[in-house]
Amino acid sequence: MEAAFSGKLETVYRRYVDEDGNAISILQDIQAEFGYIPEEAINSIARMTGIAPSMFFGIVTFYTQFHTRPRGANIITACCGTVCHVKGAQRIISRIHDELRLKEDQDTTRDKLFTLEKVNCIGACSIAPVVVVNQKVHGRMSPEKMARELKKCRERTDA
Amino acid sequence: MPKGVTVNVCMGTGGIAGGADEVLAAFREELSRNSVEGRVLEKCAVHQVGCRGFCARDVLVDITIDDERTTYQYIRPDMVKRLVSEHIIGGEPVADWMVSDEYHRFHDLQKKIVLADCGTIDPEDIEAYIDAGGYRAITEVLESRTPAEVIDEVRRSGLRGRGGAGFPTGQKWELCAANEADRRYIICNADEGDPGAFMDRSVIEGNPHSVIEGMLIGAYAVGSDSGYVYIRAEYPLAVDRLRLALDQARAKGFLGPDILNSGFSFDIKIKLGAGAFVCGEETALIASIEGERGMPRAKPPYPADKGLWGKPTIINNVETWANLPPIINNGADWYAGIGSEKSKGTKVFALTGKIRNTGLIEVPMGISLRDIIFDIGGGIEGGRLLKAVQTGGPSGGCIPQQHIDLAMDYDNLLAVGSMMGSGGMVVLDESDCMVNIARFFLEFTQAESCGKCTPCRLGTKRLLEILTRITEGEGRKGDIELLEDLAGDVRDTSLCGLGMSAPNPVLSTIRYFRHEYEAHIHDKHCPAKVCRKLLTFFIREDLCVGCGMCRKACPTGAADGKPKAPHHIDTSSCVKCGACYDVCKFKAVLKE
Amino acid sequence: MISLTIDGREVSVFEGTSVLEAARILEIDIPTLCHDPRLKPFGGCRLCIVEIRGMARPVTACTTPAIGGMVVTTTSERLYRLRRTIIELLLSDHPNDCMVCARAGDCTLQEQAYFYKLRLNRFTGEMRDHDRVDANPFIKREMNKCILCGLCVRVCDEVQGVNAIDFAFRGFNARVTPPFEKDLDCEFCGQCVAVCPTGALTGKVWAGEARQKDVKMTDTVCSYCGCGCNITLHTVRDRVVRITSRPDTHNRGWLCAKGRFGYEFINHPDRLKTPLIRRKKGGNLEPAAWEDAFDLIAGQFTRIKEESGPDALGGLASARCTNEENYVFQKFFRAVIGTNNIDHCARY
Ligand SMILES: Cc1cc2nc3c(=O)[nH]c(=O)nc-3n(C[C@H](O)[C@H](O)[C@H](O)COP(=O)(O)O)c2cc1C
Ligand code: FES
């Protein structure tokens, strides 16, 4: 486990060792590798690159793409762009909260089955409101359709 | 039996969300099955093409038989069988599924320069681009023009940046080229963070090589050997297609050392954005490419003087770059002949909101809003009344219905308190509350503020708080004036374009819809019936059948009644969540 | 050299000088919160905005390079109003507790609020809740008082090269923090404390001590090592309550953890106040009168010097003595005893 962990980091580091200014790309690769950005990963990569951990932490918390905690098996991304907003994104989001029993400030369910994310416009406004379920874009969503999708995810994960 | 058969399936993000990949697979399968049976000649190609704009009718499919093109709309995989058997094999187009007149009206007033090949060529095939005249401009430039001549051509074309501010592109290049430097950089800004905008995504998805060729022209003109495309990670399809296009261009010798034996070398790297709207701002974008937090830097010095790694740098928007090959091919005079006096060429808009034909359009600068909304857009959805058009996203403003004949160009939009922005155009109708719209945009800018400068970090927060209290019925006397004062101060003191333009939605809605603000504050009334806290929900007994849906949906038990008898809502325990309104199938729940 | 006009007065400066620096040559006061001439300009607080002829918007003096022929205005009704709004915004997210703040009277934000007569605030709203206690031994971090000027981040990077802290999060939630919002774990040089314009960063050792009243300032030199940093002792009666360093000296105001925070020994109860004499071989050191001690020293030193020569003697001094004491000590060894065998714990 330990060796595998640092081996993975080593590989990421090698990819970028020749050039400056790759802190963000490094973090993107770490996240692709682990699904989130573990604290130990930042500390180790900081040692390798000589970039201070505080700077990595600053970057991680600046960009919404990065997560410092593990995420759910199913990722639900609700678009909150202008068009989705005027077409009722908020109602879909509150339905998701209800269905998944997520509190206002929570984004991952306790059983780690679902993570709800919000994104500002994925650029599919003509079919708003839009929700991305596990990278598949669903257009013309409604609270009911959303509930059905969540149920499907649950069944698939259980199976 | 027909000779050449081509099937083009619209595979933009919108198309794929509508199931285009399944449609494409169905065509491939159906055709290969049929060709085995020898009923279709082998010369039958299925292509994926980029977005042609009319996303509201996805999935769109073109079937071209012997140069005779028929376009179908709303195609699902289960419809493919009939299309193949009746149209491709039988030679009889399926009239029921063909696009209507509206499809043509949608296209008639448009003028396609940037989008000319989007939707007709396969974006994953460089040969398709070359066949359509691609890479001709850069070849000609390298063979027969000096960098100064190229800059001059661009300057004379009158091209202005399509990323928002509309800075003359030729002038920007001139400034950059005039600097002494051992290295210069070229950046393509594909961060497209404005909610409600998807022009740049569609251009890259539909015709990535046009952007690459544009960057090559720019690189040659200012003497750069290294370029970056900064693109949002939220656009995976565009990233994949761009990557593929770069590889193909390298393989063909259009990128890399000594391009076309001219001695000119240039290559492009992709940098993925990580989710921050402010990184669309040029200095923040540079900070982000350098691997830092995307916090804007003070200007001057401008990037053209001191940009990436402190070197002179040209940043242009995707659409700006894509305009360059046509300008070189057809000449500055041709381009300058299109558009209005101070805004030349065309502009791509993402037309969305409460409009019938949502989608991507490219129109000559100077076209009126009326033409866009009522001709191209087909009018307002559901026959409601137009209230305003929001342009420029969170940096822009609302153009009220009385300015419907406004000629769309940079300067006119500024004059009415909005801006071109990157080209998002959201149509709002009478059911939209303008205070709520302003609040929505402030919520966005507030969350996207980087936090570096005081007015943006705290000013947008306070603006949002005031707007929120107005929409929640807590508005106070003097709030409108307070909003105006604070909005003006934030605009005048912020460090970057985000803070400078964040107050625009507030200022423009107050300018044109002050009465809505007043209604919220003084009468505690939301004229558009949007702000929930200001509404009362009640049930019309004559319409209620007592199905009990509202009772089940109500979180507090305020909606109640006996089965099969009219229900009612107890206003004292109602929390105005609107759940009853949403679930009622009989439109018996009303809000007032 | 280029020349420009500021508030109607002409000034000649070198190319690359900022408008702010040019104004300071003329002793024109432009308010700043995020600027320190020792650090790279940041342009975050926006307080230093000025009007430049030909530019539509006000620009920040600290980041704008002076250009020949520039015409700058540093005070106007509009600038006054804009600056006032900025301070008002900062105060709208600042705990109104100057009464118990270590920096009262020595706080740039408080000073500006006073200049701009801000008593009531038009923008009451949510305030940050960053009042997590940092358990490190030296630096008190009250981050709800932070105005995000970034001086601490820059000094830690540009001067100290430690990068213990950086900006994290963004917008209203932006804050300066060590990685993962842990406790501060660094060299504790306290450079950040020295540049902080508010009470966000203060020294734990001087918490609760006198601020200005009865405080006497004495410029002196730090005795901890051979760098000879200039320091200023803040004393109340006979007690040192704080140490600072002036930026206009050779160490530019920068100190190390010892120089800045290591003064508690002065008034420490364990400190020796009388000489100790070991009267028996193997016995304990016992307090003694000064006369006895001097007699002993004089007698023994004279004997050793006569028997074995002056170089048989050596003296070890301490960084915890005053400079005067150390001076006298070495003089005594060199001139009286006649040896160069003299050393000090902070010798390089
Ligand atoms: C907050 C903010 C966001 C921006 N976002 C974008 C963007 O997403 N895409 C873009 O091309 N320009 C964006 N811009 C404009 C850029 O700063 C810059 O002006 C533009 O890329 C220059 O290219 P152009 O001259 O071709 O328009 C943004 C500006 C600001 C202030
Ligand atoms: S001192 Fe210039 S912006 Fe703060």
Complex ipTM value: 0.89
Give the separation between CA C181 and CA A55, rounded to whole angstroms: 12
Domain count for chain A, please give it.
Answer: 2
Q: Is A29 in the same domain as A97?
A: no
In a domain, C319, yes or no: yes
Q: Is B169 in the same domain as B253?
A: yes
Range with the lowest mean pLDDT among B236-250, C40-54, C192-206, C223-237?
A: C223-237
Give the separation between CA B134 and CA B277, rounded to whole angstroms: 32
B284 contact A CB<8A: no
In a domain, A68, yes or no: no
- What Rg value do the Cα atoms of chain B yield, rounded? 26
In a domain, C250, yes or no: yes
* Predicted TM-score of the model (pTM): 0.90
Domain count for chain C, please give it.
Answer: 3
What are phi and psi for residue C311, nearest 5 degrees?
Answer: -70, -5
- B392 is in which domain, residue-wise? 346-429
Q: Is A52 in the same domain as A128?
A: no
For an interface test with B, give the residue of C170, C173, C175 to mutate (most B CBs within 10 A): C170
Closest residue in B to A64 (Cα) is B275
What are phi and psi for residue B363, nearest 5 degrees?
Answer: -130, 155
Residue B37 predicted with pLDDT over 70 = no
In a domain, B177, yes or no: yes
Candidates A39, A42, A57; nearest CB to C168: A57
- A116 is in which domain, residue-wise? 74-158
Select from C250, C266, C247 the least CA-distant residue to C258: C266
Q: Is B414 in the same domain as B438?
A: no
Q: Is A127 in the same domain as A154?
A: yes
- Pick the last residue of a domain from B429, B457, B479: B429
C184 contact A CB<8A: no
**Domain containing residue C259: CATH number:** 2.20.25.90
In a domain, A151, yes or no: yes
Q: Is A152 in the same domain as A99?
A: yes
Are residues B3 and B42 in contact, defined by beta-carbon separation less than 8 angstroms?
Answer: no
Contacts of B236 (CB under 8 A, 6+ apart): A135
* Chain C closest-CA separation from residue A22 CA (Å): 18
A47 contact C CB<8A: no
Residue B129, token pair as written in the block = 């681009």
Residues of chain B in contact with residue A62, where contact means CB-CB under 8 angstroms, are 276, 293-294, 450
**Domain containing residue A97: CATH number:** 3.40.30.10
Give the separation between CA C124 and CA B168, rounded to whole angstroms: 42
Task: Provide the 3-class DSSP secondary structure of residue C337.
Answer: helix
In a domain, C165, yes or no: no
Residue C337 predicted with pLDDT over 60 = yes
Q: Is B329 in the same domain as B360?
A: no
Are residues C88 and C120 in contact, defined by beta-carbon separation less than 8 angstroms?
Answer: no
Q: Is A40 in the same domain as A115?
A: no
Q: Is B543 in the same domain as B516?
A: no
Q: Is A51 in the same domain as A91?
A: no
In a domain, C38, yes or no: yes
Candidates B459, B462, B493; nearest CB to C58: B493
Give the separation between CA B200 and CA C331, rounded to whole angstroms: 79
Q: Is C7 in the same domain as C71?
A: yes
* C49-52 and C59-60 beta bridge pairing: antiparallel
Q: Is B284 in the same domain as B168?
A: yes
Residue C261, token pair as written in the block = 């925070």
- Pick the last residue of a domain from B336, B368, B403: B336
What is the pLDDT averaged over residues B480-501?
A: 96
In a domain, A119, yes or no: yes
What are phi and psi for residue B250, nearest 5 degrees?
Answer: -65, -45
- C28 is in which domain, residue-wise? 2-75
Residue B468 predicted with pLDDT over 60 = yes
**Residue-level pLDDT at B39:** 66
pLDDT in tens, A47-85: 999 999 999 999 999 998 899 888 888 889 898 877 788
Q: Is A142 in the same domain as A112?
A: yes
The mean predicted confidence, pLDDT, of chain B is: 91
In a domain, A21, yes or no: yes
Do the chains contact at A65 and B350, CB–CB below 8 Å? no
In a domain, A67, yes or no: no
In a domain, C280, yes or no: no
**The dihedral formed by the CA atoms of C308, C310, C311 and C312, expressed in degrees to the nearest 10:** 40
In a domain, A131, yes or no: yes
Cβ B320 under 6 angstroms from ligand 1? yes
The mean predicted confidence, pLDDT, of chain A is: 87
What are phi and psi for residue A2, nearest 5 degrees?
Answer: -55, -50
Give the separation between CA C224 and CA C344, rounded to whole angstroms: 9
Ligand with an atom nearest the CA of residue C197: 2
Are residues B145 and B324 in contact, defined by beta-carbon separation less than 8 angstroms?
Answer: no
Q: Is A81 in the same domain as A128?
A: yes
Closest atom of ligand 1 to B285 CA is 17
Residues of chain A in contact with residue B530, where contact means CB-CB under 8 angstroms, are none
Ligand with an atom nearest the CA of residue C86: 2
**Residue-level pLDDT at B165:** 83
Residue B309, token pair as written in the block = 């790694």
Q: Which amino acid is at B431?
A: S
For an interface test with C, give the residue of B493, B498, B501 to mutate (most C CBs within 10 A): B493
Q: Is A80 in the same domain as A138?
A: yes
Q: Is B253 in the same domain as B140?
A: yes
* Chain B closest-CA separation from residue C163 CA (Å): 14
Q: What is the Å distance from ligand 1's center to C237 Cα?
A: 61
Residue B502, token pair as written in the block = 């964040």
pLDDT in tens, B155-165: 999 999 998 88
Give the separation between CA B116 and CA B326, rounded to whole angstroms: 10
Q: Binning pLDDT at 50, 70 and 90, where does residue B1 land?
A: very low
> CA-CA distances (angstroms) from residue C190 to C110, C157, C199?
22, 13, 14
Q: Is B354 in the same domain as B447?
A: no
- Pick the last residue of a domain from C51, C75, C99: C75
Please identify which residue in the block is written with the tokens 């808009």.
B349
Q: Is A78 in the same domain as A34?
A: no
Are residues A112 and A70 in contact, defined by beta-carbon separation less than 8 angstroms?
Answer: yes
Q: Is A78 in the same domain as A154?
A: yes
Rounded to 5°, the CA angle A66-A67-A70 comes to: 145
Q: Is B425 in the same domain as B442?
A: no
Domain count for chain B, please give it.
Answer: 5
In a domain, C147, yes or no: no
- Pick the last residue of a domain from A62, A91, A110: A62
In a domain, C315, yes or no: yes
In a domain, B528, yes or no: no
Closest residue in C to A51 (Cα) is C163
Highest-pLDDT range among B54-63, B362-371, B380-389? B362-371
Q: Is A94 in the same domain as A127?
A: yes
Q: Is B443 in the same domain as B496?
A: yes
In a domain, C311, yes or no: yes
Q: Which residues pair with C217 in a beta bridge?
A: C234
Do the chains contact at B486 and C170, CB–CB below 8 Å? no
Tell me, rounded to whole angstroms, the distance of Cα B186 from its chain centroid.
23
In a domain, B200, yes or no: yes
pLDDT in tens, B377-411: 989 988 889 999 999 888 899 999 999 999 999 99
Please identify which residue in the block is written with the tokens 């008898």.
B565
- Pick the last residue of a domain from A62, A85, A109: A62
pLDDT in tens, B501-555: 999 999 999 999 999 999 999 999 999 998 888 988 889 988 999 898 888 878 7
User: What is the DSSP secondary structure assignment for residue C99, as one 8-state letter?
Assistant: G
